Amino acid sequence: MYPLKYIIPIVFIFICFNKTFSQNIIKAKVFDFVKNKPITDVSIQIKGTNKGTYSKNDGTFSLLKIKNRDILVLSKIGYKTTFVDINTIGNIIYLEQQINELSLVTLRSFSSSQLKNTVPDQIYYSKRDIQRQPFILGEKDVIKLLQYTPGVQQATEGQSGLIVRGGNGSMNLTLLDNIYIHNTAHLGGLFSAINSDFVESLEFSKAGFDASYGGRLSSVTNIKTLKIPDSTSFSGSLGLLSAKLTGNIKVNEKHNLLLSGRRTYFEIFKPFIKDKDAILGKDSNYYLYDILVKHTYKLSNKNQVETMLYITKDDFYDKTKGRDRQLQWGNFLIGTTYSHKFNKTLSSETTLSNSFYEFSIGTDDVVYDYQARNTVNVLGIKHHFVWALPNYVLKIGAQYNTNTILPKRVLASINNSPIEILNQDTFKYSDFSLFADIEQTISKSVKLKTGLRFTRFKNQSNALVGKNIFSSLEPRLSVKYQFNDQQAFKFSYQRLRQFIHQASISSFSLPADFFVISTKTVKPQTVNQVSLGYVYEVNGLQFNSATFFKNVSNYSEFENGSINNLFSNNIYDDILVGHFNAYGLELSASKKINKLTAQGAITLSKTIAKFKDINQGQYFPTNFDRPININTIVNYKLNNRLEFGGLFLYTSGQNYTRPRDIRIINERPIINFEAKNTSRFPSYHRLDLSCTYAFKPKGNWSSKLNLTLYNIYNNKNPFQITFSTDGSSDDAFVEIIEDRDNLFPFLPTLNWLFSF
pLDDT category at 450 given cuts 50, 70, 90 is very high
Same domain, 74 and 172: no
As for how many domains the chain has, the answer is 2
Each residue's pLDDT tens digit, 677-696:
777 788 888 898 988 888 88
Distance of alpha carbon 153 from alpha carbon 363, whole angstroms:
29
Relative to beta strand 23-32, strand 92-95 is parallel
pLDDT grade, residue 336 (50/70/90)?
very high
Q: Is residue 695 part of a domain?
A: yes
The pLDDT score that the predictor gives to residue 587 is 92
- Would residue 114 count as lying in a domain? no
**pLDDT of 15 higher than 50:** no
**CA 244 – CA 495 distance, rounded (Å):** 41
For residue 412, pLDDT over 80 is answered with no
Domain contains 112: no
> Are 56 and 182 in a shared domain?
no
27 & 174 share domain: no
Q: How many CB atoms lie within 10 A of CB 358?
A: 18
Same domain assignment for residues 100 and 135: no
Average pLDDT over residues 88-103: 66
- For residue range 225-252, list pLDDT tens digits in order: 988 877 888 888 887 778 889 999 988 8
Query: Amino acid identity of 35?
Result: K
With cut-offs at 50, 70 and 90, classify the pLDDT of residue 514: confident
The pLDDT of residue 110: 36
Domain that holds residue 295: 122-227+235-755
**pLDDT reading at 143 higher than 50:** yes
Q: Is beta strand 219-225 parallel, antiparallel or unpaired with respect to 172-176?
A: parallel
pLDDT interval class at 726 (50, 70, 90): low
Amino acid 120 reads: P
Domain assignment present for residue 13? The answer is no
Q: Rounded to whole angstroms, how far apart are CA atoms 42 and 36?
A: 15
Give the per-residue pLDDT at 525. 92
Confidence class for position 20, pLDDT limits 50, 70, 90: very low
158 dihedral zone (left: phi>0; alpha: psi -120 to 50; beta): left
Model confidence at 469: pLDDT above 80: yes
Q: Is 714 left (phi over 0), alpha (psi -120 to 50) or beta?
A: left
Q: Which residues 6+ apart lie within 8 Å of 205 measured at CB?
A: 119, 121, 122, 123, 213, 219, 220
State which of 41, 75, 104 marks the end of a domain.
Answer: 104
- Decide if pLDDT at 162 tops 90: no
Confidence of residue 275 (pLDDT cuts 50, 70, 90): low
Q: Report CA-CA distances (Å) from 87 to 90, 292, 659.
A: 9, 39, 73
Is 7 part of any domain?
Answer: no
In a domain, 162, yes or no: yes
Q: Is residue 97 over pLDDT 90?
A: no
Query: Which candidate, 753, 752, 756, places its Cα nearest to that of 248?
Result: 756
**Taking the C-alpha atoms of 557, 561, 563 and 567 in order, what is their torsion angle to the nearest 10 degrees?**
-40
- State the Cα–Cα distance between residues 562 and 660, nearest whole angstrom: 12
Average pLDDT over residues 640-658: 84
Backbone angles phi, psi at 466, to 5 degrees: -90, 180
Is residue 385 pLDDT above 60, yes or no? Answer: yes
Q: Which of 82-96, 341-355, 655-669, 726-740 has the highest mean pLDDT?
A: 341-355
Beta bridge partners of 306: 296, 337
CA 688, CA 675: separation in Å to the nearest integer? 36
Single residue among 104, 131, 164 that ends a domain in this structure: 104
Q: CB–CB of 54/41 below 8 Å?
A: yes
Query: What does the pLDDT average to over 523-534?
Result: 92
Q: Higher confidence at residue 627 or residue 682?
A: 627
How far is Cα 27 from Cα 702, in angstroms, rounded to an integer?
Answer: 21
Check which CATH number belongs to the domain holding 56 and give it: 2.60.40.1120
Report which of residues 438 and 314 the model is more confident about. 438
The per-residue pLDDT of the chain, averaged, comes to: 80
Domain boundary among 76, 104, 132: 104
The residues near 480 (Cβ < 8 Å, ≥ 6 apart) are 117, 118, 119, 120, 446, 447, 448, 488, 489, 490
**Domain match, 323 and 472 both:** yes
Residues 57 and 131 occupy one common structural domain = no
For residue 99, pLDDT over 90 is answered with no
Distance of CA 171 to the CA centre of its chain: 13
The answer, yes or no, to whether residue 508 has pLDDT greater than 50, is no
Q: Which are the contacts of 714, defined by CB distance < 8 A and separation ≥ 6?
A: 275, 745, 746
Instruction: Give the mean model confidence (pLDDT) for residues 254-267.
Output: 86
Question: How many angstroms separate the CA atoms of 451 and 268, rounded?
Answer: 52
pTM: 0.77
Q: Does residue 728 or residue 624 have the better pLDDT?
A: 624
Per-residue buried b or exposed e for 550-583, using 16+ beta carbons within 10 Å of the residue's own CB: bebebbbbbbbbbbbbbbbeebbebbbbbebbbb
- Least confident interval from 172-181, 212-221, 637-646: 637-646
Comparing 199 with 422, which gets the higher pLDDT?
199
Q: What is the CA radius of gyration of the chain?
A: 27
Task: Find the mean pLDDT for residues 732-741.
Answer: 63
pLDDT of residue 285 exceeding 50, the answer is yes
CATH for 578? 2.40.170.20
Predicted local distance difference test score (pLDDT) of residue 461:
84
The mean-pLDDT minimum among 21-25, 318-322, 419-423 falls in 21-25
Is residue 1 in some structural domain?
Answer: no
Residues 279 and 251 in one domain: yes
In percent, the amount of the chain with pLDDT more than 90 equals 23
